Amino acid sequence: MTHPFHLAFPVTDLDATRRFYVDVLGADSGRAAEAWQDFDLFGHQLSAHRVSRVPPAVASSQVDGVAVPIPHFGVILSWTEWEQLAMRVRDHGEPFLLSPSVRFAGQHGEQGTFFVQDPDGHALEFKAFRRSDEAFA
């Protein structure tokens, strides 16, 4: 059984955050108050909490020869969902931090991946494994 994940994260502009997560990524809006907004992102609960300032992320880590932003969060999708989301991001004119590509091609753990950044600079990775049973192998 899969259990939904919950992540609370800081944002400075709830309206811009709502537009990005709902319009660009296709999340559903959930409960909200003056200082926070919940989103259903592919069955996972994200809670955006308004703060005065979000510290910038400054780290990266090498993965398959590519510097990926650290920290980041995201969702593992089916290959079809991943391709559809990449097209949705493109159609909305959002830039990719790292464009859609295939890592570890032909190897164990082959995966499609791309990174985007929300309005407050949070890096999000969306990926799909060629063989879904290799996500944790």
Q: In this predicted structure, what is the pLDDT of residue 52? A: 96
Start-end of H helices in 92-132? none
Q: In this predicted structure, what is the pLDDT of residue 22? A: 98
Quote the pTM value: 0.92
Instruction: Return the domain boundaries, the chain.
Output: 6-50, 59-134
Who's near 50: CB < 8 A, 6+ residues apart? 10, 11, 12, 13, 14, 35, 36
How far, CA to CA in Å, does 60 sit from each of 30, 50, 123?
32, 25, 11
Q: Does domain 6-50 correspond to CATH entry 3.90.1150.10?
A: no
Q: What is the mean pLDDT of each run of 10 residues along the chain (137 residues)?
A: 91 97 98 97 97 88 90 96 98 97 92 97 96 88
Q: In this predicted structure, what is the pLDDT of residue 63? A: 87
Q: In this predicted structure, what is the pLDDT of residue 57? A: 79
**Which among 107, 99, 100 has a CA at the least distance from the CA of 130?**
107
**Domain 59-134, CATH:** 3.10.180.10
CB atoms within 10 A of CB 21: 23
